[in-house]
Structure 1
């Protein structure tokens, strides 16, 4: 049975380091070897710094997959679903490899990130690096709790991991979408708490969801909490983290799922208007600057790359 990468379903950490690479040469054989060795690198440092609860995820971009592994492809892996409507934009950006390193120690994340870059060597170019951090009791920088609707316990695996029935060849893997959002904090802070709560659809301090009578049709949770034709929730597993400094603040959004359609439908509901002109009003205060689709394969698959 395929073993998933443990970082996909891991519980939240205090610190995250997200590395995005593009391949710059044709030595795919070297990269296959390097990627096959990376889980062992993570395990070694997780043992060395056991108190840090280190986890890692390795994912391969939709545009690079066929070059790295032309023999087979996850059956639903497609490019990022870029969208735009008026001033609401979800751009698609090109990244070949994604490495996610999370733990409860920022220094350990830095050490492991350095080792990842050494292992990949000159075959790649580091395009973007984002350091995320846990903010207060798991809140976004807007002040609202993030990921309240995340699946809990074993259900995390059911939501995030591809089953044998879905794709036997790539069971234990996960479809991954990332977006780096940049918040307009100055604008956000100009509106009163009640208006902020209407934008999100929850109370700010107590994190209580608005009732059906109270919630605005443009509220964020109204737009992204979707159900299928059978009334079943269309869930994703978020592993997002706030990032930023005194000049730039935002959210590095990370979504894992056993299929890519849940994320795509959520993004459509956010960006595009419905028949009554409703869209996600949170997008008036934050802008996605990147977007890319990946597949995070099982540990068995990564080992086979060697």
Structure 2
């Protein structure tokens, strides 16, 4: 996309394009089904900027940020009159062997910083402000692992767009002007069977991933009988153009509990790109030739959100609070 088309995108796109951080917390909650709870949740969202400043001021070099994503059902409650054109719930995917489940989630908070304590303190104060209005569905603390590797030992996020390609891949443009600068977000929590993975010879692991393990060199598997994770996750549109997404995956785990995983989070300008990527992984291309990484990586969650640009988020939340005020006063 020509650079000049992005001159009209709001400058503050909710930190979607913030640099990859050393620490992160992924927090997914549902909002209780009553006006008082919705009003309290919206008030907390209205105060996100101030909360970032309050915590982040302790160490500006810590680069604290938080992206807020809103799910389809919650969006209908918060802004029933207008929603992003592609926003829809995560659809369960049933492949020949593996299933991608769909799990609840009204709000996503993608909290990032160079220091784990900044993420922790921000989440603590955020949950205080949300109070009893929400139920925590999932909470994952992620960390950057050596040279951006996952716990399987491979570099993760190599294919991320950079420079002018980043907003063109991750942020909505003129196709939905009311929500320009926003992004569709899909999250999945994967748990790895590291013992099963370690039993696989390195050259087979490399064929499954599509890259060499030590030096991260891409492997050409176009003529291979079984496509790699890298090839299945490469999406091309009807005109032959490769469609990218922005990933900010993080490893997580507790060795004492034998918990090892990757939290997948993908930001996309077009939701169908992530949906097609996941369909190819689980169903296969050709059908049946699913992503062999799934034999050792089990998805536990799957939820779709929309992260509006900050000005749009402020407009939506402000309108919701004004609409909810009379209902609260009548209770």
Assess same fold via TM > 0.5.
yes
Aligned partner of 1:62 in structure 2 is 72
Aligned partner of 1:13 in structure 2 is 21
How many residue pairs are counted as aligned between the two chains? 305
Asked which structure has the greater CA Rg, the reply is 2
Q: 2:138 & 2:189 partners in 1: Cα distance?
A: 10
**How far off its partner does 1:43 sit?**
3.0
SS of 1:290's equivalent in the other structure is coil
Greater mean deviation of Cα atoms: 187-196 or 213-222: 213-222
User: Contact (CA 8 Å) 2:210, 2:221: kept in 1 or not?
Assistant: no
Aligned partner of 1:256 in structure 2 is 267
Q: 1:249 & 1:212 partners in 2: Cα distance?
A: 28
1:111/1:275 CA distance change after superposition, 3 Å: closer
**How far off its partner does 1:5 sit?**
3.7
1:122/1:218 CA distance change after superposition, 3 Å: same
Q: 2:46 & 2:207 partners in 1: Cα distance?
A: 47
**Which one has the bigger helix percentage?**
2
SS of 1:7's equivalent in the other structure is coil
**How far off its partner does 1:7 sit?**
2.8
User: Contact (CA 8 Å) 2:253, 2:261: kept in 1 or not?
Assistant: yes
Instruction: Give runs of ≥4 in structure 1 deviating > 6 Å.
Output: none
TM-score w.r.t. length of structure 1: 0.95
Q: 1:233 & 1:179 partners in 2: Cα distance?
A: 23
Alignment of 1:244 with 2:253, yes or no, is yes
State which of 290, 294, 298 in structure 2 corresponds to 1:279. 290
Aligned partner of 1:24 in structure 2 is 32
User: Contact (CA 8 Å) 2:169, 2:245: kept in 1 or not?
Assistant: yes
Alignment of 1:186 with 2:195, yes or no, is yes
Aligned partner of 2:244 in structure 1 is 235
SS of 2:263's equivalent in the other structure is strand
TM-score w.r.t. length of structure 2: 0.88
SS of 2:185's equivalent in the other structure is strand
Q: 1:212 & 1:219 partners in 2: Cα distance?
A: 7
Aligned partner of 1:120 in structure 2 is 130
Unaligned regions of 5+ residues in structure 1, if any?
A: none
User: Contact (CA 8 Å) 1:17, 1:132: kept in 2 or not?
Assistant: yes
Aligned partner of 1:206 in structure 2 is 215
Aligned alpha-carbon RMSD (Å): 1.6
Q: 1:69 & 1:229 partners in 2: Cα distance?
A: 33
Q: 1:216 & 1:12 partners in 2: Cα distance?
A: 35
